[in-house]
Every structure is written in structure tokens, then in C-alpha cells.
């Protein structure tokens, strides 16, 4: 069975979610749940798009799928960047405390 573009993209979003939120011991639960609901919505759109016989009828769903996927990928990139910055700052604070500078 051929895997569609939308199923591949949905799998990439799942993987990126696990990479981004799976490593975090502490994160904003509300944001995490909203992202999960967006991914569920992408799954529903994916099913609707792949089952459609005429792709012209699901053109709006295709646009919504692509927009949501792009927003999620941007969110993942921003979250990873923020968490890396926090990690660097925490390490700097720990080093300062270790050397008695703080």
C-alpha cells in the first residue's frame, strides 16, 4: 500500500513532537495538550483527505493541514531553541555557584 504525503507528514509531526516534548521533564501542560489536540486534528484531516475521491472537494482541508503542520513545526523549533537557552543559562548559574561567584 502506498503511503500518502499527508501520512508521511503526520508521522514527521509525531516524531518532532516526541523529540521536542519527550525530553522535557518540566513543560507547560496547557501548551503540550494544545499541541496534542492539533496533532489529533491533523490525523482527522489526513484521513479525510486520503479517503476523498476528488481532491478538489477537500482543497480547504489540504490548506488547513499544511498551515497547521507549518505552525506546529515552527512551535517545535522555537520551543527547542528556548529550552536550549534555558539549559545554557542554568549551567552558567551552576558554574557560578560552584566557583562562589554568586
- Tens digits of residue pLDDT in 35-47: 999 999 999 999 9
Q: Where are the domains of the chain?
A: 5-98
Confidence check: pLDDT of 31 > 80: yes
Mean pLDDT score of the chain: 85
Helix axes 5-22 and 29-51, enclosed angle (nearest 10): 170
Cell numbers at 97, concatenated: 555557584
Interatomic CA distance for residues 55 and 15, integer angstroms: 27
Best mean pLDDT range from 11-15, 20-24, 75-79, 92-96: 11-15
The per-residue pLDDT for 15 is: 94
The per-residue pLDDT for 102 is: 56
- Tens digits of residue pLDDT in 47-78: 999 999 888 899 999 999 999 999 999 999 99
The per-residue pLDDT for 1 is: 35
Q: By C-alpha distance, which of 77, 84, 4 is closest to 42?
A: 4
- 8 A C-beta contact, residue 2 and residue 58: no
Specify the pTM.
Answer: 0.77
What sign has the CA pseudo-torsion 68, 71, 73, 76? negative
C-alpha angle 35-89-100 in degrees, rounded to nearest 5? 150
Amino acid at each position: 500500500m502506498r503511503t500518502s504525503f499527508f501520512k508521511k507528514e503526520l508521522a514527521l509531526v509525531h516524531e518532532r513532537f516526541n523529540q521536542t516534548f519527550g525530553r522535557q521533564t518540566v513543560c507547560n501542560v496547557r501548551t503540550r495538550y494544545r499541541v496534542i489536540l492539533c496533532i489529533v486534528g491533523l490525523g482527522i484531516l489526513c484521513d479525510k483527505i486520503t479517503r476523498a475521491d476528488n481532491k478538489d472537494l477537500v482543497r480547504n482541508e489540504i490548506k488547513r493541514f499544511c498551515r497547521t503542520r507549518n505552525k506546529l513545526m515552527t512551535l517545535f523549533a522555537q520551543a527547542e531553541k528556548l529550552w536550549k537557552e534555558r539549559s545554557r543559562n542554568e549551567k552558567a548559574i551552576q558554574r557560578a555557584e560552584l566557583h562562589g561567584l554568586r
